[in-house]
């Protein structure tokens, strides 16, 4: 099988916002407790944060991390998580039916973000609470001092403001499962008024309004249109969420589902354009894809367990163990985000540690990389710069999820600061190898500087505590660069990253 790709320096999609490779950590299961925070663990630092986990997070370099939810945020009182630890209340979390000890709150998490070298992105509760709690939270976090809430932060031991720039106005407010679920009109009005109040405090904040929880919601895409009608001029981004499932165990159909994501982004882009035109607005709202991942390995079983349990603390929840097939899916999701980076400025893998996450930990034990760690790692490390529009000729197949779809899924990024152009490729074919031939235009290439291949595994292979490196990249791609033409031999079902150095 052969595929042909045309790449040219001038065919630019967009300068990629570095925040496209963000992450998300929710107070859910063991994401925070025994995930990033475990005082008493042999690798815990003086703040109780696990250094082994911090090292893995720094490897991934998420530029931004969303916190504290997720569904959790819609019944969360941020005040419970500040002040002396011994006085913090034990609460029942209605989203996941667990107990929340509040031993980590916004101040500790801001410290963790500094140690992890990631920017803090916060969500306010617009489910059980309203504008007032949101504006007080903002003042607590960002005002230098001399006001009630900022002085309280100082009294709690954080003299410097956290200076959080990115704020989500609630979470999945279209979802009937959400505490404080609203209609589009109700939510749009609350979001508008909250955004206006927050921008009265600081006009430079970037505010994210909730779009649909996924593109199968009955209210999609009317939800986006109505919410944006209400608040277009007060906000900056609209959020999308999508989780991928393969319950039917149909690899080809599963791998075609990124086409749904691509359409979802394009449709919401169209709704943004429509509302912008209707309002005669000069402003371009962009997309914040602040939850995406594969999530199905534990989903139904978790739901049954949750219905039966008695409010446990930090239970094992949403601990999907990812396989090799998921590497290919996550590689294609990231390719989709790169190809849509003119619309999608911010995106967050959901989530970062233990809970549907690239990093797993054992309480008191080791931390390791799940299979999906790697495509995220390569995109985050090599995918910064300018996204290039490619012309791709590839054999195709037909799938229920997508219609006709190419076997080759590919994206490319030019990083002028590092003098490199990088291709990310997935061969979706189950049994056939593919020779991909890329003509490189407008660049003086000097060689293949970096390369990685993940292939040759059974689709069900996983990385576990006992076999942590079963699925890992090799640094050897069968690739050749000659006279501005890059030939890559992609084995069946494979992920490859090839980075070319430039003069």
Q: CB 66 → ligand AHR: shortest distance, Å?
A: 10
CA 197 to chain centre: 27
User: Using the rule CB under 6 A, which residue among 63, 69, 170, 473 binds ligand AHR?
Assistant: 69
Stretch that binds ligand AHR, among 11-19, 69-77, 381-389, 424-432 (CB under 6 A): 69-77
Closest CA to 421 of 481, 490, 502: 502
- Separation between Cα atoms, residue 70 and residue 64, nearest integer Å: 15
Residue 397 CA from chain centroid, whole number: 28
Q: Which of 195, 350, 410, 502 binds ligand AHR (CB under 6 A)?
A: 350
**Structure-derived torsion over alpha carbons of residues 481, 482, 483, 486, reported in degrees to the nearest 10:** -40
User: Residue 171, interface with ligand AHR (CB under 6 A)?
Assistant: yes
Using the contact rule CB under 6 A, the part of the chain among 63-71, 154-162, 262-270, 319-327 near ligand AHR is 63-71
The CA distance from 72 to 67, in Å, is: 10
Q: Work out whether 390 is an interface residue with ligand AHR (CB under 6 A).
A: no
Does 175 sit behind a cis peptide bond, omega within 30 degrees of 0 on the bond before it? no
Nearer to ligand AHR, 27 or 420 (CB): 27
Nearer Cβ to ligand AHR (228/348): 348
User: Interface with ligand AHR includes 172 (CB under 6 A)?
Assistant: yes
Of 344 and 405, which has the nearer Cβ to ligand AHR? 344
Asked if 108 interacts with ligand AHR (CB under 6 A), we say no
Number of residues that bind ligand AHR (CB under 6 A): 10
- Nearer CB in complex with ligand AHR: 216/273: 216
Residues 6 or more apart whose CB falls under 8 angstroms from that of 111 comprise 47, 49
Question: Could you say whether residue 409 binds ligand AHR (CB under 6 A)?
Answer: no
Of the candidate spans 67-75, 128-136, 389-397, 404-412, the one that interacts with ligand AHR by CB under 6 A turns out to be 67-75
For 209, list phi and psi in degrees, rounded to 5. -95, 150
Q: What minimum distance in Å lies between the beta carbon of 23 and ligand AHR?
A: 11
Strands (E), 30-100: 64-67, 91-93, 98-100
**Other beta carbons within 10 Å of 423:** 26
- Point out which span in 66-74, 125-133, 297-305, 396-404 binds ligand AHR (CB under 6 A): 66-74
* 438 in Cβ contact with 495 (< 8 Å): no
Q: Does 93 bind ligand AHR (CB under 6 A)?
A: no
Q: Residue 307 and residue 13: Cα distance in Å, rounded? A: 46
Round to whole Å and give the CA distance between 501 and 448.
6
* Binding mask of the shown chain, residues 109 to 138, with x at each position contacting ligand AHR by CB under 6 A: ------------------------------
Stretch that binds ligand AHR, among 65-73, 81-89, 192-200, 332-340 (CB under 6 A): 65-73
Nearer to ligand AHR, 265 or 355 (CB): 355
CB of 259 to ligand AHR, least distance (A): 22
Q: Which residues face 485 on adjacent strands?
A: 439, 482
Q: Which stretch binds ligand AHR (CB under 6 A): 64-72, 109-117, 225-233, 411-419?
A: 64-72
Alpha carbons 329 and 327: distance in angstroms, whole number: 5
Looking at beta carbons, which residue is closest to ligand AHR?
70
Can you tell me the distance from the alpha carbon of 345 to that of 238, in angstroms, rounded to the nearest whole number? Answer: 10
- How many whole angstroms separate alpha carbon 299 and alpha carbon 6? 40
Q: How far is the CB of 377 from ligand AHR (least distance, A)?
A: 20
Distances (CA, A) of 155 to 83, 140, 146, 147, 316: 8, 11, 11, 12, 35
| Residue 71 is a binding residue for ligand AHR (CB under 6 A) | yes
Peptide linkage before 221 cis (omega within 30 of 0): yes
Closer residue to ligand AHR (CB): 146 or 176: 176
How many other CB atoms are found less than 10 A from the CB of residue 441? 12
Q: Which of residues 213-272 bind ligand AHR (CB under 6 A)?
A: 213
For residues 3 and 394, give the distance between their C-alpha atoms in angstroms, rounded to a whole number. 4
Q: Is 497 helix (H, G, I), strand (E, B) or coil?
A: strand
Give the residue with the Cβ less far from ligand AHR, 213 or 499: 213
Q: Which is nearer to ligand AHR, 74 or 445 (by Cβ)? A: 74
Binders of ligand AHR among residues 16 to 55 (CB under 6 A) are 26
Applying CB under 6 A, which of residues 70, 81, 180, 211 lies at the interface with ligand AHR? 70
Residues recognised as catalytic: 172, 291
The Cα-based distances of 187 to 55, 134, 138, 192, 446 in angstroms read: 39, 14, 20, 8, 54
Give least dist CB 61 to ligand AHR, A. 21
For 187-201, give the DSSP string: HHHHHHHHHHHHHHH
Distance CA 123, CA 130 (A): 12
Q: Which stretch binds ligand AHR (CB under 6 A): 68-76, 146-154, 421-429, 453-461?
A: 68-76
Q: Give whichever of 48 and 70 is closer to ligand AHR, judged by the CB atom.
A: 70
Residues 277-296 that bind ligand AHR (CB under 6 A): 291
Name which of 99, 245, 103, 92 is nearest 179 in CA terms: 92
Task: Measure the CA–CA gap between 421 and 411, rounded to whole angstroms.
Answer: 11
212, 246, 351, 371: which one contacts ligand AHR (CB under 6 A)?
351
CB 16, min distance to ligand AHR, A: 24
- Residue numbers of the site for ligand AHR (CB under 6 A)? 26, 69-71, 171-172, 213, 291, 350-351
């Amino acid at each position: 099988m052969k595929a042909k790709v045309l790449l040219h320096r001038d065919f630019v999609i967009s300068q990629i916002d570095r925040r496209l490779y963000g992450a998300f950590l929710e107070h859910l299961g063991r994401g925070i407790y025994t995930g990033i925070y475990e005082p008493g663990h042999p690798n815990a630092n003086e703040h109780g944060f696990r250094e082994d986990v911090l090292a893995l997070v720094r490897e991934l370099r998420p530029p931004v991390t969303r916190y504290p939810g997720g569904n959790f945020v819609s019944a969360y009182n941020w005040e419970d998580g500040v002040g002396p630890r011994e006085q913090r209340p034990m609460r029942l979390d209605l989203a996941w039916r667990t107990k929340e000890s509040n031993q980590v709150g916004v101040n500790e998490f801001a410290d963790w973000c500094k140690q992890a070298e990631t920017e803090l992105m916060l969500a306010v509760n617009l489910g059980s609470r309203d504008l007032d709690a949101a504006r007080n939270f903002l003042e607590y976090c960002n005002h230098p001092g001399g006001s009630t809430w900022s002085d309280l932060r100082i009294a709690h031991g954080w003299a410097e403001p956290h200076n959080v720039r990115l704020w989500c106005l609630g979470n999945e407010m279209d979802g009937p499962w959400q505490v404080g679920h609203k209609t589009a009109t109700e939510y749009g009005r609350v979001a508008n008024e909250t955004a206006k109040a927050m921008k009265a405090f600081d006009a430079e904040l970037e505010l994210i309004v909730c779009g649909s929880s996924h593109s199968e919601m009955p209210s999609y895409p009317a939800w986006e249109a109505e919410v944006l009608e209400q608040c277009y001029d007060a906000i900056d981004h609209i959020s999308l969420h999508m989780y991928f499932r393969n319950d039917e165990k149909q690899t080809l159909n599963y791998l075609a589902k990124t086409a749904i994501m691509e359409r979802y982004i394009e449709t919401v882009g169209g709704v943004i354009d429509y509302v912008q035109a209707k309002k005669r607005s000069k402003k371009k709202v962009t997309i914040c894809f602040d939850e995406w991942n594969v999530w199905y390995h534990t989903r139904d079983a978790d739901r049954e367990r949750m219905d039966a349990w008695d409010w446990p603390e930090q239970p094992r929840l949403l601990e999907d163990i990812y396989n090799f097939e998921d590497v290919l899916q996550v590689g294609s999701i990231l390719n989709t985000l790169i190809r849509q980076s003119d619309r999608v400025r911010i995106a967050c893998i959901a989530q970062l540690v233990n809970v549907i996450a690239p990093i797993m930990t054992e309480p008191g034990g080791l931390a390791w990389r799940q299979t999906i760690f790697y495509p995220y790692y390569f995109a985050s490390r090599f995918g910064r710069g300018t996204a290039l529009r490619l012309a791709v000729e590839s054999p195709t197949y037909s799938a229920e999820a997508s219609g006709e779809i190419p076997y080759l899924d590919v994206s490319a990024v030019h990083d002028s600061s590092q003098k490199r152009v990088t291709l990310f490729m997935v061969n979706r074919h189950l049994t056939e190898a593919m020779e991909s031939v890329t003509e490189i235009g407008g660049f003086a290439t000097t060689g293949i500087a970096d390369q990685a291949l993940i292939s040759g595994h059974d689709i069900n292979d996983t990385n576990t505590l006992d076999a942590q490196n079963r699925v890992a990249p090799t640094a050897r791609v069968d690739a050749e660069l000659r006279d501005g033409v890059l030939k890559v031999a992609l084995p069946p079902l494979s992920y490859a990253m090839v980075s070319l150095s430039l003069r």
